[in-house]
Amino acid sequence: MQIAIPLYDGFTALDAVGPYEVLSRLPGARVTFVAHEPRPVSTDNRMLRVVAEAALRDVPSPDVLCVPGGVTSTRFAADPELVTWVRAAHKRSTWTTSVCTGAIILGAAGVLDGLRATTHWIDREELASHGAEVVSDRVVFQGKVVTAAGVSSGIDMALALVARIAGDVVAQAIQLSIEYDPQPPFDAGALGKAPPEAEALVRAAIAARQAAAAA
Amino acid sequence: MQIAIPLYDGFTALDAVGPYEVLSRLPGARVTFVAHEPRPVSTDNRMLRVVAEAALRDVPSPDVLCVPGGVTSTRFAADPELVTWVRAAHKRSTWTTSVCTGAIILGAAGVLDGLRATTHWIDREELASHGAEVVSDRVVFQGKVVTAAGVSSGIDMALALVARIAGDVVAQAIQLSIEYDPQPPFDAGALGKAPPEAEALVRAAIAARQAAAAA
């Protein structure tokens, strides 16, 4: 089973690495990170580069594609090469998935027309402008299209996907292998759960990151 | 605040990227991935390479170090350059941390002597052989030394660490920004919670990965 994760400058690392860490443990799976050209790709904060080993054109028909989000996803939702690749890969895929604002790129490719979909809580309005019926669920299955909410939700999405592909026991084994028994120190991970002053910090930080990414 | 994450061939990506995704959002933080030499470093399954931007010697005194685990951590716990770097960095650090079998490397550097510590559930015996009092907790604070259990636990550890460094509101803001409101599809993420057949699959898969890494 070939799994492709397309990277683009400004992607968020955990959006990609969370699903990778789960899906790469699926027996027989081969995960390939792809980009416009094979090269190291910078994340949103420019503190990390992840290597795309192949070009988009080298992996035209993955069984599974998983599009991560990032501070630049709106820009790349208007990138003809990436969007054309997503649209073509989706036609032949078994599963088409996104994490966070990766859903905006799926939306731009027409994948989400008329479907329920989720994304990072701060980008719900933008996703709705791409034809999706946006919901606040953490993971949304619509036929072969699966969207996940912000950043860390890709881990939950990938485990649920493994259960569909290979059964509950394999998914449970992968969950145990990555010791995913979450114990966050706060119950602040969703909009409405965090205190207002924390939400204000996030909105300011994301605005600053988007401004920096656009500079 | 300088945060260093040392990479070595065979590390587990989420061990490093989970804490990175949290700690990089700490105001004023700069995360640097380091290795013996600056170069792309392969993960445990060889499906992904992450770029170490600097050499160990270039970052001798990080405020925070975070050592990830991997299928090769036992081998690198005997690597003089890495262990010497960890030992020296720990002397000057504000926080010395590990995820998963990264604790074995901390142990080899003498950091865990007489301290309570945790690691991936499958490696508890090995960690005990390095002088730590091994416990099954997900995150263990012992003075400035913080260890986390397997793979995904680094996210919880990093959020708890941010709370100590910058206060609860900043940690809650980061949790909200990565939308860390975990909803795993199963309650199978800890030893004793997963069904026996899932545990058997993990033990077989880890043995195969370690054999492949040793080949």
Would you write out chain A's pLDDT as a tens digit for each of its 215 residues?
999 999 999 999 999 999 999 999 999 999 999 999 999 999 999 999 999 999 999 999 999 999 999 999 999 999 999 999 999 999 999 999 999 999 999 999 999 999 999 999 999 999 999 989 999 999 999 999 999 999 999 999 999 999 999 999 999 999 999 999 999 999 999 999 999 999 999 999 988 877 887 77
pLDDT for position A100 = 98
Give me the residue from B18, B168, B185 closest to A163, CB to CB: B185
Degrees, nearest 5: CA angle B142-B71-A177: 75
Q: Is A168 on the interface with B (CB under 8 A)?
A: yes
* Cβ within 8 Å of A, B 111-130: 120-121
Interface of B with A in 62-91 (CB under 8 A): none
Q: CB–CB of A48/A42 below 8 Å?
A: yes
**Residue B204 falls within a domain, yes or no?**
no
CA distance A172 to A166: 11
Q: Does B189 fall in a domain?
A: no
Q: CB-CB: which of A153, A178, A202 is closest to B176?
A: A202
* B175 domain residue, yes or no: yes
pLDDT at B141 over 90: yes
- Of B206 and B186, the structure prediction assigns the larger pLDDT to B186
d(CA A49, CA B16): 13
Residues in A touching B50 (Cβ below 8 Å)? 48-51
Q: Establish whether this prediction's ipTM goes over 0.95.
A: yes
The whole-angstrom separation of Cα A199 and Cα A140 is: 24
Residues B64-76 have a mean pLDDT of 97
pLDDT at B213: 73
**Per-residue CA distances from B18 to A124, A154, B122, B178, B196 (Å):** 24, 12, 20, 10, 28
**Amino acid B211: pLDDT:** 83
Distance of CA B141 to the CA centre of its chain: 14
Q: Which of A209-213, B76-80, B138-142, B197-201 has the lowest mean pLDDT?
A: A209-213
Does the residue A75 lie in any domain?
Answer: yes
Active site residue A66: no
- Structural domain includes residue A209: no
What is the structure's pLDDT at B108?
98
CB A181 to CB B189 under 8 A?
A: yes
CATH number at residue B63: 3.40.50.880
Interface of A with B in 135-154 (CB under 8 A): 138-139, 149-153
For residue A168, what pLDDT is reported? Answer: 98
**Domain membership of residue A67 as a residue range:** 2-184
Residue type, B120: H
A vs B: CB pairs below 8 A: 242
Q: How many domains does chain A have?
A: 1
Per residue in B155-184, pLDDT (tens digit) is: 999 999 999 999 999 999 999 999 999 999
Tokens 């493994």 correspond to A162
> Using a CB-CB distance cutoff of 8 angstroms, which residues of chain A are in contact with residue B191?
176
What is d(CA B180, CA B171) in angstroms, rounded to the nearest whole number?
11
B7 part of a folded domain: yes
* Confidence at residue A62, expressed as pLDDT on a 0 to 100 scale: 98
Instruction: Kindly determine whether residue B47 and residue A40, on different chains, have CB atoms separated by under 8 Å.
Output: no
> What's the predicted TM-score (pTM) here?
0.97
Q: Classify residue A149: in a domain, yes or no.
A: yes
Looking at chain A, how many residues does it have? 215
Residue A196 lies in a domain: no
Band (pLDDT 50/70/90 cuts) for residue B18 is very high
